[in-house]
């Protein structure tokens, strides 16, 4: 399943299906645009969401790949309770299920940090948002306008996307968080073979929507102008063809930007059909991804205030036969409900006291495991299933990184390179001319002494073929096998002379 990464490219075009629903106009008396835009004005709410995956294996795959697919199908997320406070604070409590094991977790976010905790963790983890924003080095950024831009973009997209072929609206009675509500159910289904035509219709609508397009660019100008001013963007504007227009001339900048963007859209429309035909010819696999077996099903349940109170989403992506991807299809199912809309909500923030700052820490596999209780579900998943401690090193016969030297049938290598690549800690005792290598995962120590033909491995004395020596580059050289096995790794040499060091 290491080949899975290559195959994910087939998923990308189909994710655009998720946007198509946003173009629905009035259906069965329901103004879908208002329903989809209604939640943009929600300041506070509570909600829950479940998410699961289903991968269908291809024919004739290996037992290893089938095992990995079964693991994928065992994965699910249940976010039992999300709280969005009107000041932007958010908290979530839920659980992740994997291989019939369930791990409860909590998460919270405020203006200062994202804090995360899970069952089995010795302390919470947090990522400071202030330090992240400072590291971006963006001046003039007005976060208060970000929501306005998001709303403007959504309105523009909603206005211009077309209706899919299968769409309906009916009145229903549904239970939301224990309360029986009269709602309007919007149902739609979209298949992959509909997508190219829907995208083309969207582009045509965008090209004709001069007012909306101009308003969108104007909003982006208001948001980006302080940033561009602080950054001194004259050179960038020259490259964009705006060099003759002062940056403070909003009308001029917006007009030129709109005309350029419209020209690009119109040019794309002129070649759209030919480019699509060429895509299918050069990448015939796309006919499967953008085929009838790729399907998005959505049910939205909307109240009288045009707020979405429940939604069920089922996305299935058909995948082409490939050695790189042992799947016929993969599906994502999601169910959610929302209550207490714009009501009094207080997020449950997690204290950062004693939490591990992930922005200042690069954790080794051993350090990661030591942050969880041994035997806990997370610990076992990280070590046994995800195998985060597994390492493989390769040394070629003429390796110019490890510089192996064979003396009397024994391979010697510079200690530091192999030790650090196995995540071990290396310390030097100048007084005794000794080097201590501490294993990252188990904490065992291997001690070598310059000029000595003895080493301590896990507290036991081991006789070396020759004394430890320092090479012309100032690196201490030790027997490879003694070092690697002291760090719980195995050493093997293949018929081509390549040396493989593997730690489970």
| Structure confidence at residue 21 (pLDDT) | 40
DSSP 102: E
So what's the pLDDT on residue 491?
97
64 by DSSP, 3-state: which? helix
Residue with tokens 């069965």: 28
Low-confidence ranges of the chain (pLDDT < 50): 1-25, 132, 136-137
Residues recorded for the chain: 504
Q: Which CATH class is domain 391-503?
A: alpha beta
- Give the helix ranges, DSSP H, for 375-462: 377-380, 415-421
Q: What is the pLDDT of residue 151?
A: 82
Torsion of CA 203, 207, 212, 216, to 10 degrees: 70
Residue 407 has what pLDDT?
96
Sheet strands (E) in 3-159: 26-27, 30-31, 45-57, 76-84, 90-98, 101-109, 113-118, 125-128
Task: State the pLDDT at residue 8.
Answer: 37
Contact 201, 162 (CB under 8 A): yes
Is-contact 279 273, C-beta < 8 A? no
First to last CA, the chain: 18
Tell me, what's the pLDDT at 134?
Answer: 54
Domain boundaries, the chain: 4-339, 391-503
Residue whose tokens read 């835009």: 37
Distance CA 318, CA 329 (A): 4
* Opening angle at CA 273, ends 270 and 276, nearest 5: 125
What whole-number distance in Å separates Cα of residue 395 and Cα of residue 403? 9
Whole-prediction pTM: 0.82
Q: What is the pLDDT of residue 362?
A: 86
Residue 233: predicted pLDDT: 61
DSSP 422-437: TT-EEEEETTTTEEEE
Residue 13 is predicted with a pLDDT of 36
The span from the CA of 437 to the CA of 101, in Å, is 36
Coil, helix or strand at residue 134 = helix
Nearest CA-CA partner of 290 in 9, 478, 10: 10
Facing residues of 372 across strands? 121
| Residue 103 and residue 96 in contact, taking contact as beta carbons nearer than 8 Å | yes
């Amino acid at each position: 399943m290491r080949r899975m990464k290559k195959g994910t490219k087939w998923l990308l075009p189909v994710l655009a299906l998720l946007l198509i629903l946003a173009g629905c106009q009035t259906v069965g008396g329901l103004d879908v645009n208002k329903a989809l835009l209604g939640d943009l004005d929600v300041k506070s709410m509570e909600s829950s969401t479940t998410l699961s995956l289903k991968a269908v294996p291809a024919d004739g795959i290996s037992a290893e790949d089938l095992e990995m697919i079964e693991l994928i199908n065992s994965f699910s997320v249940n976010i039992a309770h999300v709280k969005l406070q009107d000041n932007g604070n958010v908290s979530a409590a839920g659980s992740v299920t994997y291989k019939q094991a369930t791990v409860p977790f909590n998460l919270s976010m405020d203006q200062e940090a994202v804090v995360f905790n899970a069952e089995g963790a010795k302390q919470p983890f947090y990522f400071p948002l202030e330090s992240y924003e400072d590291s971006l080095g963006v001046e003039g950024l007005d976060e208060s306008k970000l929501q306005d831009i998001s709303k403007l973009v959504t309105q523009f997209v909603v206005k211009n996307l077309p209706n899919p072929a299968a769409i309906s609206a009916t009145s229903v009675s549904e239970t939301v968080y224990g309360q029986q509500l009269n709602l309007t159910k919007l149902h739609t289904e979209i298949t992959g073979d509909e997508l190219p035509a829907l995208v083309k219709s969207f582009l045509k609508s965008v090209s004709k929507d001069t007012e909306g397009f101009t308003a969108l660019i104007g909003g982006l100008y208001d948001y980006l102008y302080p940033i561009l001013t602080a950054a001194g963007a004259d050179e960038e504007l020259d490259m964009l063809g705006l060099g003759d227009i002062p940056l403070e001339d909003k009308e001029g900048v917006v007009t030129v930007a709109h005309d350029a963007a419209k020209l690009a859209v119109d040019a794309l429309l002129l070649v759209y059909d030919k480019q699509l035909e060429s895509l299918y010819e050069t990448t015939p696999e796309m006919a499967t991804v953008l085929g009838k077996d790729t399907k998005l099903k959505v049910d939205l349940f909307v109240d009288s205030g045009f707020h979405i109170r429940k939604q069920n989403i089922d996305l299935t992506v058909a995948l082409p036969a490939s050695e790189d991807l042992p799947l016929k299809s993969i599906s994502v199912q999601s169910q959610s409900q929302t209550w207490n809309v714009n009501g009094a909500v207080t997020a449950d923030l997690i204290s950062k006291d004693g939490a591990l700052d992930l922005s200042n820490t690069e954790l080794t596999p051993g350090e990661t495991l030591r942050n969880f209780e041994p035997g806990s579900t997370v610990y076992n998943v990280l070590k046994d299933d995800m195998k985060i401690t597994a390492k493989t090193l390769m040394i070629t016969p003429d390796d110019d990184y490890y510089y192996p030297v064979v003396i009397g049938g024994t391979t010697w290598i510079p200690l530091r390179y192999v030790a650090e690549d196995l995540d071990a800690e290396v310390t030097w005792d100048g007084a005794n001319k000794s080097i201590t290598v501490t294993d990252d995962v188990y904490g065992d120590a291997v001690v070598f002494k310059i000029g000595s033909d003895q080493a301590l491995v896990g507290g036991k004395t081991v006789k070396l073929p020759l004394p430890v020596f320092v090479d012309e580059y100032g690196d201490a050289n030790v027997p490879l096998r003694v070092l690697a096995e002291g760090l719980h790794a195995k050493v093997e040499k293949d018929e081509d002379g390549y040396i493989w060091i593997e730690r489970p």
